[in-house]
């Protein structure tokens, strides 16, 4: 920290889809930043990036890059976080990690500021940013859990390609053009980069995000299940997930079925707690065909909820439609929000 109480910040993975948004969110943040260091792999080093009207040059990350850094935002893949996050902490930085590397580590708080910012207080240098699909779901579930109790969650996702990175975005563009030109469609990235087999995403729906686990669920589905329990402090909560990739660029949508503990609750009461919730915007009116969509939420920081309705069979069952920008609240904005919270709570290591 500098004498005027401003921070030395680093972004690792600065040229990636999330890294770019992190830089934008830092520009919009009220976090006082004295220097911003942009780090990447050797391959992307040298790239020029604009920050608050100044041109910054991306440097290759090394252990020494983190000397003097107060806050390091990581989004360059799990192996980069494993390699450099402990080195950054050793040098006094607090790491906010947007990969799955540390999320389930018991020593590491997994935080959505509107939901469990108190978990930041026990941090030991690394804080994990949850998976994008998990973040938007728990933002909607927390106020419902607080008001009525929650016993079960079943979610199906409709996820944008940008979550899988800039190459997946390019792949959707290329395949869409190929398909419309009636050319052969080439699939080389999705569903999982580097996998044996690829499926086209353009004009398609892929029921696989991330790699399969031994239990038949994908890793994305297991992340939603395990992370939801950890963030809501509910190891007993029943959660099931099906994660599906669809051919649009930005925002994830989710159809969420919940069962609450209290009986006799009407839809209006669920709508009311969502309307009052921090970071959540209710857009729900069948009479005017009002509900959020991936396009309507793109570029916005909040989590949007619509289609709230009571299950027709289970007396405590409700259905919701939850939409948010996967690169903002799902990634970059949530990370920068964590940094703001750490500052507010005086939890940056140089201050501890």
Q: Tell me how far apart the alpha carbons of residues 144 and 148 are, in angstroms, rounded to a whole number.
A: 6
Q: Which of 269, 310, 309, 245 is nearest to 143 (CA)?
A: 269
Interacting positions 173-212 with ligand L14 (CB under 6 A) = 209-210
Dihedral sign of CA atoms 125, 225, 80, 10 in order: negative
Among 29-37, 157-165, 274-282, 297-305, the segment contacting ligand L14 (CB under 6 A): 157-165
Structure tokens at 44: 């992307």
Please confirm, yes or no, whether 252 is among the known catalytic residues: yes
Query: How many CB atoms sit inside 10 A of residue 90's CB?
Result: 12
Interacting residue with ligand L14 among 15, 20, 81, 131 (CB under 6 A) = 131
CA of 134: how far to CAs of 221, 239, 258, 300, 314, in Å?
9, 11, 15, 17, 24
In terms of DSSP bridges, do strands 94-97 and 126-128 run parallel, antiparallel, or are they unpaired? parallel
Rounded CA gap, 1 and 165, in Å?
Answer: 32
Active-site position among 8, 123, 243, 252 = 252
Q: Least distance from C-beta 312 to ligand L14, angstroms?
A: 32
For 67, the token pair is 């000397």
| Minimum gap (Å) between residue 277 Cβ and ligand L14 | 23
List the catalytic residue out of 132, 198, 314, 350: 132
Residue nearest to ligand L14 (CB): 163
- Nearest approach, Cβ of residue 95 and ligand L14 (Å): 15
Instruction: Identify whether 243 is a catalytic site residue.
Output: no
Rounded least distance, CB 17 to ligand L14, Å: 10
Q: Is 159 in the site for ligand L14 (CB under 6 A)?
A: yes
163 part of the interface to ligand L14, by CB under 6 A: yes
Residues of this chain, 279-308, that bind ligand L14 according to CB under 6 A: none
Answer yes or no: are the C-beta atoms of 128 and 106 closer than 8 Å.
no
Q: How far apart are CA 220 and CA 197, in angstroms?
A: 18
Among 205, 239, 194, residue whose Cα is nearest residue 221: 239
Stretch that binds ligand L14, among 159-167, 283-291, 293-301, 335-343 (CB under 6 A): 159-167
Q: C-beta of 134: minimal distance to ligand L14 in Å?
A: 9
* Nearer CB in complex with ligand L14: 18/256: 18
Using the rule CB under 6 A, is 132 a contact of ligand L14? yes
Out of 11, 61, 94, 164, which residue is the one contacting ligand L14 (CB under 6 A)? 164
Catalytic residues: 132, 252
Interface residues with ligand L14 (CB under 6 A) are 100, 131-132, 159, 163-164, 209-210, 220, 223
């Amino acid at each position: 920290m500098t004498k005027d109480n401003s921070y030395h910040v680093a972004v690792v993975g600065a040229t990636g889809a999330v890294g770019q948004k992190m830089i934008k969110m830092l520009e919009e943040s009220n976090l006082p930043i004295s220097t911003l260091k942009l780090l990447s792999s050797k391959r992307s080093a040298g790239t020029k990036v604009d920050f608050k009207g100044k041109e910054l040059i991306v440097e290759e990350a090394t252990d020494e890059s983190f000397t003097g850094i107060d806050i390091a935002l990581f989004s360059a893949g799990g192996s980069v976080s494993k390699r450099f996050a402990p080195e950054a902490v050793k040098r006094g930085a607090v790491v906010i990690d947007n990969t799955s590397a540390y999320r389930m580590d018991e020593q590491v708080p997994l935080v959505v500021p509107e939901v469990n910012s108190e978990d930041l207080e026990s941090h030991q240098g690394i804080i994990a940013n949850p998976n994008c699909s998990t973040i938007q779901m728990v933002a909607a579930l927390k106020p419902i859990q607080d008001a009525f109790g929650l016993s079960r969650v079943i979610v199906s996702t409709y996820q944008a390609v940008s979550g899988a990175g800039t190459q997946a975005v390019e792949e959707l563009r290329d395949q869409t053009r190929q398909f419309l030109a009636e050319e052969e469609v080439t699939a080389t990235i999705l569903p999982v980069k580097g996998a044996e087999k690829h499926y086209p995403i353009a004009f398609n729906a892929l029921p696989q995000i991330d790699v399969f686990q031994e239990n038949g669920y994908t890793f994305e589905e297991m992340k939603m299940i395990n992370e939801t329990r950890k963030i809501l402090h509910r190891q007993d909560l029943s959660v099931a997930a099906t994660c599906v990739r669809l051919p649009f660029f930005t925002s994830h949508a989710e159809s969420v079925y919940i069962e609450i503990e209290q009986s006799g609750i009407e839809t209006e009461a669920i709508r009311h707690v969502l309307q009052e919730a921090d970071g959540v915007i209710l857009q729900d009116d069948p009479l005017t065909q009002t509900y959020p969509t991936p396009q309507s939420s793109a570029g916005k920081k909040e989590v949007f909820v619509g289609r709230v309705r009571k299950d027709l069979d289970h007396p405590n069952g409700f259905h919701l439609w939850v939409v948010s920008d996967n690169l903002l609240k799902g990634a970059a904005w949530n990370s920068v929000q964590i940094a703001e919270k750490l500052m507010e709570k005086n939890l940056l290591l140089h201050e501890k």
